[in-house]
Structure 1
């Protein structure tokens, strides 16, 4: 229990720290990427506003890190600028132009994000250089064709985003490394904090366990004396003759002695259960007495033993047990689980009902089910019924139980790395046990 509490607190703290680091580094990375994208777009937009020079004009006054091209509707390059900043071959430039023209968005990325482009209709500034060199040789008919052609001209601006991508990748690697070191630091800090925080709980729990164990031990001796004397008294009562007044006194004394015996046996069962739980809460009871055993045979033996008890209580027990199911476990403990589940079905099941015991295999697990008719358990009861001293008032109040059998069964199943749960519906209550099985 304390170990589980430590694990849950550490997991909670580490989960919170991990979430905060993820949010922080995601914000840093996202904002940095957005800023770089915005800066690159601003460069593209500024470059798109500048006029393109003619082929015979030298130099590029913009000196912006961008390549600008003026193309027609077929993607043919009419004019370009930016060769002074980037060297781009005609073949690569033509391929980038085709990709940019095939995109629906006016701004986007190419080559897995390494190249950004901005596409827009060619303005007067972009066309001015081209028009100045063609006006001298063109006639009136040529001008009309050019006007129609210019409507399809596009200005495309390219920029290299690969350096920014490398910076982003370096930032991502740094965030991951810093995050790992931070998580290691937070783990050590959380572990130390949890150890200190759980120490008072561990002390209180250990004191409670010792008190329960000591009190149960102290109660066993007087209970044994009471039981012995009550049994002796009952035997002496049987020695009285059944005649006259003595017969009435004998019946009265017998009733008193039976009440003493019944109550003492209940108290002995309670103290034994408390001792059992106290031993299970100890760390030394976790993995003792395990062996390979035939669980099918174990379930068949318990079913055969309980058939008589069910018959005497006016109920029937039907078993469907698959043969050849083996587990690694403690035979005494697993038999105790079967006893608890079948005894509960006998105590709290509807009179005259049919109780079903089923054992099967699902993959690498065995599945045991004890299905009994009775008043349905609510979802809340199904969840809490394995808590210590928890009892469903209406259906379990008269059964004489103390709410310790199912918690003991749950502890045993946990030691065997399995799970136990309850379901209810259609007037029946079902208890399931799932355990890892082994092949033989």
Structure 2
């Protein structure tokens, strides 16, 4: 399921980026193409503005080249030539600064006149020529052995070599293609990386949800079975008095109380997951909260022969809900009392560190394995599975984490195996 979701995410991301990239390249190419075409048209138009004066053009009928060359080559004319066209598209004369084969001029004239366009691009032997046709009404003077004659000139066609411009456009397309291929591979790698990162929290949450449902079902199964067994015992002695059946009733009451506490804890955790918990935090004196909890637990600590030391700075103000923070302190102290070693010690510290209030509970004992530390605040997690039914459900630390995070703080644990365990929470 998650693999398909990841693949869809990658496909969607690749499709969107590819469309955007191709659109951007297409716009750049179109703008470049339009600019080059306009520049060539303007250049050719400027060249064609001053047509050759026909009266100054004289052609000998015994000439082999039929071309006119005039002195030094102007820069604007370096890649251009023009032809004079008479009746029936007959090539009358060539005005060129280029050393081209005679057939090129005839072929260019034929292609230009056959296109039936005033201006266009033609291709000859791998070269591209932009032409422009100007209509004329003049005569070409021809001197020959038979005398001087005149040939009507109907059109003057200007040609400009635009091969380099088209090579630039082709190179631009190749560059865009190479960049596109490289970018697609890079984008695929980036998309795959972020898709995995994006899907991972969903996958973890889904697995935790499955585990949570399985653990909750397992925890509810035991009290339900106990209640059912005790109810069966009551039905087996229908004629007995309530007083004689008190033992079974007490068992049922105890299990329903445990189930009620479990359901209450689960509801609170569900509210924190959906961010439905009221976060109206207010400043309060956390020293009073910690002191009250310590006073209430003195009897339990004394009975177990535990040494309790405390280092509490006075008048420390923290932001939070006092009753909920008190619940966290009780959870951490109760946890320390449960897991302290015989005749061990518990140290409670409350102090200010820069802009934070730090509360820590440290108890001696066998400690917590390193591999278990990241799972301590998971729901229903127990380090010692043999204590699965000691009256708790493994939700205490999960609730403590939810309360502290809801108050804008953080909670964590550290341990030295065989020596001690420390739980710490920070509040603003």
Q: TM-score, normalised by structure 2?
A: 0.44
Higher helix fraction (1 or 2): 1
Instruction: Return the structure number with greater strand share.
Output: 2
Look at both structures and tell me which one has the larger radius of gyration over its CA atoms.
2
The TM-score normalised by the length of structure 1 is 0.43
